[in-house]
Amino acid sequence: MSIALSTTLTGADFDTVVQRTRDALADQGFGVLTEIDMQATLKAKLGEDMERYLILGACNPPLAHRAVGIMRTIGLLLPCNVVVREDPDRDGAIVVDAMNPDVMVQATGEPALGDVARDAGERLRAAIAALGGTGDGLA
């Protein structure tokens, strides 16, 4: 099982891809609760340079509520992280990776989370597909 649902876009501006990702997530009922700019953080804290790398903490409240109702500690694996990043090996390519919700089921061993993971996975796959790009959806 892959940990990510992914697509790669070429010929697109990073900031535009970030906004399109936010919009695609919103269309599937996800809001972005957190945003972590890894490039800025690593530069400020460690003096290290890296490509643009943004982590969006996406949450679909009804799905999160269902998951927490099944297993209170599942909050440790929430929200669903979505990464928008430049690919350092492919000039101009931007990769969007979303956490594969099946990871929750595998990591916890809680089969009752399967339905929630399936619903979340369908929505995240639809958001990733809406971006276009290349890839089979799995990294």
Q: What is d(CA 43, CA 54) in angstroms, rounded to the nearest whole number?
A: 14
Residue 25's Cβ-count burial label (10 Å; 0-12, 13-18, 19+) is buried
Which pTM does this prediction carry? 0.93
Q: What is the pLDDT of residue 139?
A: 45
Percentage of the chain surpassing pLDDT 90? Answer: 92
DSSP one-letter string for 45-105: HH------EEEEEEE-HHHHHHHHHH-GGGGGG-SEEEEEEE-TTSTT-EEEEEE-THHHH
pLDDT digits (tens, 9 = 90+) for 71-98: 999 999 999 999 999 999 998 899 999 9
